[in-house]
């Protein structure tokens, strides 16, 4: 394990690993439950993303799932058990579902969708920064079929990604979509062909699928991590301002007043320009923004 300024938080329902320099891989680890996230799992993910944002040496996070599912949403069995008893409901952390719905963090989180991706799982990919999926992945927002509503930030954000009619189709019918369909609609950046991971008898080798999809996402994460950490943070903030519905002029002014001045005062912009002139690869420093 790399040397960190502070140790990573303990997790029971997720595995933490570091597959490339400056990259954190978080693997949801409840495969028997299709990686549904329970109350403890939400709290753990909140702590993990907060730790990543505060850890200087980490620049990009990757989220995936173990087994045949990325994440099938909330733990409805837990919901049902609590609704049938007088036990008090564990509050959702401030960052919301999976630590992503209302996350205030600055570093990008990429999703490696290895398999089934429903409900809150689909909301997490909508709330993330980039998404790469297996060609055998299936996703959807089936909440209306269970009498519940997608309340992890997906509804207002989905319409900005796919448009009103497509968003209405997804949330009002609760249909399941292929990864290829989601890519055409702009929900997924890239689909990885995993037909070579189908073994004898038509059974899918889930580990092989995960290795292939996660491997590609780690490549992209490493590409991002190889850029100026300061410029990545500020660029991401600029895109987020527009995505959240702020006008271009106002967003640019907010970005300039809040971040750009600090960017120009930092060491990485000087190093990037110097490296360009000297025709060499920049030696970035951990961001202090």
d(CA 103, CA 106) in angstroms, rounded, equals: 9
Residue 225 vs residues 2, 27, 221, 231, 284: alpha-carbon distances, Å? 16, 19, 6, 11, 10
**Choice among 101, 143, 153, 221 that is catalytic:** 143
Q: Does the annotation count 74 as an active-site position?
A: yes
Question: Phi and psi of 252, rounded to 5°?
Answer: -65, -40
* Active-site choice (41, 65, 120, 266): 120
Q: Which two tokens stand for residue 277?
A: 């002139």
Residue of 55, 78, 123, 183 marked active site: 123
Distance CA 28, CA 45 (A): 9
> Catalytic residue among 43, 74, 137, 167, which?
74
Q: Return all residues near 35 (Cβ < 8 A) that are at least 6 apart.
A: 28, 29, 65, 66, 67, 69, 70, 71, 72, 121
The yes-or-no answer on residue 248 being catalytic is: no
| Catalytic machinery residues | 74, 120, 123, 143
């Amino acid at each position: 394990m790399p040397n960190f300024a502070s140790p990573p938080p303990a997790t029971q329902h997720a595995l933490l690993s570091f597959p490339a320099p400056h990259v954190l891989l978080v693997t949801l680890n409840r495969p028997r439950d299709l990686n549904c996230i329970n109350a403890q799992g939400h709290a753990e993910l909140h702590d993990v993303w907060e730790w990543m944002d505060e850890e200087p040496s980490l620049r990009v996070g990757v989220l995936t799932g173990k087994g045949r599912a990325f994440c099938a949403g909330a733990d409805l069995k837990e919901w049902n058990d609590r609704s049938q008893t007088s036990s008090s409901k564990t509050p959702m952390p401030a960052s919301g579902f999976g630590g992503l719905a209302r996350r205030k963090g600055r570093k990008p989180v990429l999703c490696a969708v290895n398999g089934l991706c429903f409900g809150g799982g689909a909301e997490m990919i909508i709330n993330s920064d980039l998404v790469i999926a297996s060609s055998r992945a299936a996703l959807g927002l089936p909440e209306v079929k269970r009498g519940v509503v997608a309340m992890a930030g997906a509804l207002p954000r989905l319409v900005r990604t796919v448009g009103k009619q497509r968003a209405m189709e997804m949330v009002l019918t609760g249909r399941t979509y292929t990864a290829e369909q989601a890519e055409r609609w702009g929900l997924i950046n890239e689909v990885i062909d995993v037909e070579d991971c189908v073994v004898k008898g038509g059974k899918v080798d889930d580990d092989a699928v995960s290795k292939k999809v996660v491997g590609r996402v780690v490549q992209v994460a490493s590409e991002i991590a190889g850029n100026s950490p300061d410029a990545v943070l500020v660029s991401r903030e600029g895109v987020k301002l527009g995505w959240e519905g702020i006008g271009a002029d106002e967003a640019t002014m907010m970005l300039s007043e809040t971040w750009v001045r600090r960017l120009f005062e930092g060491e990485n912009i000087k190093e990037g320009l110097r490296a360009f002139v000297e025709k060499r690869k920049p030696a970035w420093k951990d961001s202090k923004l």
